[in-house]
């Protein structure tokens, strides 16, 4: 009838004829050989993509642990030991990034960028957080890329003479952080600096919030120059950056106006309660 389904064209052929056509396919024909090579290439690419996703997840986890460790710097009596331990953790993260660089040898990095981008952003956040604690300044993308150049000597043929060993050239792997990943990592850094501000006040450090406020203003000014002309992810992070700056400025305002009225051990509780109120008003 008119309301029924239209019969598809290939349904007009008998099923027996379809089966005979499949049996008559020559698996060694040039066409089938080409498709098998395409299948092997796609499977290899998908397997590499999954390995990179797992490595990126490991990089993210280890970088977060480094950030959690660095937050103990303000309250720990042995700050140098915390920095040394964080350097060991970052070295372990760089070894994971070295595996990523080895996977991408001979490949276009941008074809696998979505797989490794979250891990690189988290590493930039951890490395820049450690750099700020040490130097009170922002690490550059060039400095980060210098840390991601890896060399390894060729261990084969170790029984050769010293003259032959001098001719060996060390293998070199490198991975460059893209400008977008760097900007997204710096934007996430502002949230960690806001938490550092609150914890510093709780430990009786009154000078750090004012330093952080000035530093965050400079970062915010830099992001406003980009505006909506940059990538979508960067403009989306700008709102969170603005909220972190507002919370730090609110802490500085409270210290300046009511710092003498509130005991130092209660300042962190006051800031935390005000932060919760701000988040509720903004619907966060």
Would you list which residues are annotated within the binding site for Mg(2+)? 125, 192
Pairs from 235-238 (Cβ < 8 Å, separation ≥ 24): 237/183, 237/184, 237/187, 237/188, 238/187
Give me the torsion for CA of 205, 191, 149, 60, rounded to 10°: 120
CA distance 40 to 273: 58
90 close to 127: Cβ distance less than 8 angstroms: yes
Q: What is the total residue count of the chain?
A: 284
Sign of CA dihedral 193, 93, 148, 111: negative
Measured at the CA of 196, the angle between CA 191 and CA 202, to 5 degrees, comes to 135
118 close to 178: Cβ distance less than 8 angstroms: no
- Quote the DSSP letter at residue 138: P
229 to each of 149, 199, 224, 226, 233, how far by Cα in Å? 31, 35, 10, 6, 11
Known binding residues: 125, 192
Q: Indicate the helix (H) or strand (E) that contains 174.
A: strand 171-174
- Quote the DSSP letter at residue 192: H
CA distance 130 to 87: 8
């Amino acid at each position: 009838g008119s309301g029924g389904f239209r019969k598809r064209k290939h349904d007009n052929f008998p099923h027996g004829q379809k089966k005979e056509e499949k049996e008559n396919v020559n698996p060694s024909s040039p066409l089938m050989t080409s498709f098998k090579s395409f299948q092997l290439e796609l499977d290899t690419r998908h397997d590499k993509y999954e390995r990179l996703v797992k490595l990126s997840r490991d990089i993210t986890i280890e970088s977060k642990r480094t950030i959690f460790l660095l937050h103990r710097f303000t309250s720990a009596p042995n700050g140098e030991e915390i920095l040394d331990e964080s350097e060991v953790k970052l070295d372990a993260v760089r070894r994971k990034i070295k595996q990523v660089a080895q996977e991408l040898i001979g490949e276009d990095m941008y074809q696998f960028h979505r797989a490794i981008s979250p891990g690189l952003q988290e590493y930039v956040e951890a490395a820049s957080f450690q750099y700020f604690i040490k130097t009170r300044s922002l690490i550059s993308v060039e400095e980060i890329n210098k840390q991601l150049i890896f060399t390894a000597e060729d261990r084969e043929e170790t029984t050769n003479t010293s003259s032959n060993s001098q001719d060996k050239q060390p293998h070199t792997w490198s991975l460059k952080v893209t400008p977008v990943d760097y900007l997204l990592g710096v934007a996430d850094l502002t949230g960690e600096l806001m938490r550092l501000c609150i914890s510093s006040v709780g430990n009786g450090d009154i000078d750090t919030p004012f330093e952080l406020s000035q530093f965050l203003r400079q970062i915010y000014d830099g992001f406003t120059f980009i505006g909506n002309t940059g990538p979508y992810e960067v403009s989306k992070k700008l709102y969170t950056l603005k909220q972190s700056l507002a919370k730090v400025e609110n802490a500085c305002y409270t210290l300046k106006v009511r710092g003498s009225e509130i005991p130092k051990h209660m300042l962190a509780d006051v800031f935390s309660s005000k932060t919760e109120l701000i988040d509720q008003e903004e619907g966060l």
